[in-house]
Amino acid sequence: MPTEELNQLAIDRTRGDFRYDVQYQYDAGTGLTHQTIDYIVDAKGEPDWIRDWRHKALDVFLSKPMPTHWASKDLENIVFDNIRYYLAGGQKPSRSWEDVPEDMKRTFERLGIPEQERKFLAGVEAQFDSEAVYSNIKKAVGEQGVIFVGSTDGLKNHPEIFRKWFGKVIPTGDNKFSALNSAVFSGGSFIYVPPGVKVKHPLQAYFRINAENFGQFERTLIIADEGSEVMYMEGCTAPKFETATLHSAVVELVALKGAKIQYVTVQNWSPNVFNLVTKRAIAHEEAEVKWIDCNIGSRLTMKYPGVVLKGRKARGEVVSIALANDGQHQDTGAKMIHAADETTSNIVSKSISIGKGRATYRGLVHVPKHLKGCKNNTECDALLINSTARTDTYPAITVRGTGNACQHEASVSQISAEQIFYMQQRGLTEAQAMSLSVNGFVNDLVRQFPMEYSVELKRLIDLEMEGSVG
């Protein structure tokens, strides 16, 4: 194993808790009204259809109640009037790091993005607050007809593909936060992979929040045309502010017949971020969609990646790891909507709760009566580090019909004092013993992450555990 190379990747990234002062050309101010929408549309120079779309979405957002009848009451602590909805430097995304404004470039260099790009990526998009400041794709990949641009660029320059799918997987009114995103979205990626093209290396986006009282609302749309394959990875960080920050993304994936999409997230938000994200895919006939999701940090994360299995023999998978440290609530899970015969879905979720941290698993699996040959497997395991930690599981599985199969397993375990003593007796400190135990608990899932990310993940877990002991 090329250990040296991996060590270099795991550079100084202690939680992304740093910021540089940056001058913004565009600032929509605090609060959200229809004027805010017009400001964003004008600043971005978007066409009228999207202006109308945004205004309608704002009305939906305002009319929808907070989902606190089932979700955390902490949502009520988001003060929408105190948030800034659009902040941008005003420049177009550069194709070269040389042209990225110095402070933004320094930020991404510190996060190790240009280095990762050189080492193993087919393309990178780097978003700083509301807009991408860097976007580039390897020449050879671009020449195959692969499009990898920001959402603004996508809707302006590739409307024929963009409009066909935009908002179709996740309609505006899906939930309050998808409506909010639809009203004020900015940034995120638009990817199109032509039929039969298999993108060998991952495409990566990095979402960075730099400003205080800011809301980041990226919008990602990925379309893998028939028989194509693509892997997309996203990372996110923000500095630690006194006040709450909001991150509310919408991610839509479309895997056409026989296509394969893997979507990998490693988020490491600071503990002041409300992270409320809607992610869903449509898998057509014989297509495969796999969400690999790792949630570390944030104050409250609500995220349930889903797959609508629309075509015969489509496959959907969610592999997720959540780590809830003191004062954090990871409310995560998966949705699998079976809508065709012989579709299969697999959900494997592991959560770790530390201190007074809370992890919630919410799963929805739906197989209607008229379908045949559908299979679902759901496994959710929770690990509690202290007796003050909390975990809840809400699996909603409705599998009807006689020709369908479903399997569900859940477990809750605790790292015992005897196990820690045993490990300490071999010379490991208590923190090292905890860290190794937690890494062992998630090990089978971490192995499914691309190697570069699994190293990063292991390091992030070590960092979280260091602070949790003693």
Partner 1 sequence: MSSLKIQDLHVRIGEKEIIRGLTLEIPKGEVHAIMGPNGSGKSTLSKAIGGHPDYTITSGDILVDGESILGMEPDERARKGVFLAFQYPMEIPGVSNANFLRAALNARQPEGEEIEAVDFYEHLYEEMDKLEIRREFTSRAVNEGFSGGEKKRNEILQMAMLKPKYAILDETDSGLDIDALKIVSQGVNAQRGPELGSLVITHYQRLLDYIVPDVVHVMVDGRIVRTGPKELALELEEKGYDFIKDAIA
**Binder of partner 1 out of 442, 457, 460, 461 (CB under 8 A):** 442
- Nearest residue (CB) to partner 1, 243 versus 424: 424
Distance (Å, whole) CA 170 – CA 371: 23
432 touching partner 1, by CB under 8 A: yes
Q: Which two tokens stand for residue 316?
A: 């959907």
419 touching partner 1, by CB under 8 A: yes
b/e code 298-322 from CB counts within 10 Å (16+ = b): bbbbbbbbbbbbbbebbbbbbbbbb
- Nearest residue (CB) to partner 1, 282 versus 348: 348
x/- site string to partner 1, residues 13 to 52, per CB under 8 A? Answer: ----------------------------------------
**Residue in the structure block whose two tokens are 């039969």:** 196
2 touching partner 1, by CB under 8 A: no
421 touching partner 1, by CB under 8 A: yes
**Cβ within 8 Å of residue 68, ≥6 positions away:** 75, 76
Distance (Å, whole) CA 279 – CA 249: 8
8 touching partner 1, by CB under 8 A: no
- Rounded to the nearest whole angstrom, what is the least distance from the CB of residue 442 to partner 1 in the complex? 7
- Rounded to the nearest whole angstrom, what is the least distance from the CB of residue 469 to partner 1 in the complex? 11
Dihedral-angle region of residue 41 (phi above 0 means left; psi in -120 to 50 means alpha; beta otherwise): alpha
x/- site string to partner 1, residues 60 to 99, per CB under 8 A? Answer: ----------------------------------------
Q: Are the C-beta atoms of 214 and 83 separated by less than 8 Å?
A: yes
- Rounded to the nearest whole angstrom, what is the least distance from the CB of residue 293 to partner 1 in the complex? 19
- Rounded to the nearest whole angstrom, what is the least distance from the CB of residue 462 to partner 1 in the complex? 11
329, containing H or E segment? strand 329-338
For partner 1 (CB under 8 A), the number of binding residues is 25
**Helices then strands (H, E): number in the chain?**
12, 24
- Rounded to the nearest whole angstrom, what is the least distance from the CB of residue 464 to partner 1 in the complex? 17
- Rounded to the nearest whole angstrom, what is the least distance from the CB of residue 466 to partner 1 in the complex? 14
- Nearest residue (CB) to partner 1, 243 versus 443: 443
425 touching partner 1, by CB under 8 A: yes
Distance (Å, whole) CA 376 – CA 399: 9
359, containing H or E segment? strand 358-367
**Binder of partner 1 out of 130, 278, 298, 437 (CB under 8 A):** 437
- Rounded to the nearest whole angstrom, what is the least distance from the CB of residue 436 to partner 1 in the complex? 6
- Nearest residue (CB) to partner 1, 68 versus 424: 424
**Binder of partner 1 out of 68, 82, 407, 429 (CB under 8 A):** 429
3-class DSSP assignment, residue 42: helix
Distance (Å, whole) CA 228 – CA 218: 25
Distance (Å, whole) CA 167 – CA 189: 14
Task: With contacts defined by CB under 8 A, name the span among 16-24, 95-103, 265-273, 432-440 that binds partner 1.
Answer: 432-440
| DSSP assigned state of 94 | B
Distance (Å, whole) CA 329 – CA 100: 35
226 touching partner 1, by CB under 8 A: no
411 touching partner 1, by CB under 8 A: no
Residues that bind partner 1 (CB under 8 A): 3, 416-419, 421-430, 432-433, 436-437, 439-444
